[in-house]
């Protein structure tokens, strides 16, 4: 589930411990993390969107006075 992402990424350990995480994903395909998982299957447009969203989220966190 998107609200409790466990498995497939290093952030699962943090989520299991109740530590808040930000989890971006470009969607899986049948070969995800298998030998047939090759670069041409990467969703580059989604990676661009994720990169922008990551930057904006971290910028906001870095500039929070309370955090």
**How far are the Cα atoms of 46, 48, 64 from residue 25, in angstroms, in the given order?**
9, 12, 25
What pLDDT does residue 1 have? 46
Q: Is pLDDT above 70 for 67?
A: no
Structure tokens, 13 = 């350990």
Span 3-17, mean pLDDT? 74
């Amino acid at each position: 589930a998107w609200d409790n992402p466990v498995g497939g990424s290093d952030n699962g350990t943090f989520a299991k411990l109740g530590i808040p995480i930000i989890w971006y994903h470009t969607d899986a395909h049948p070969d995800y993390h298998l030998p047939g998982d090759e670069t041409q299957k990467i969703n580059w447009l989604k990676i661009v969107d994720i990169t922008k969203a990551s930057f904006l989220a971290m910028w906001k966190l870095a500039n929070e006075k309370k955090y």
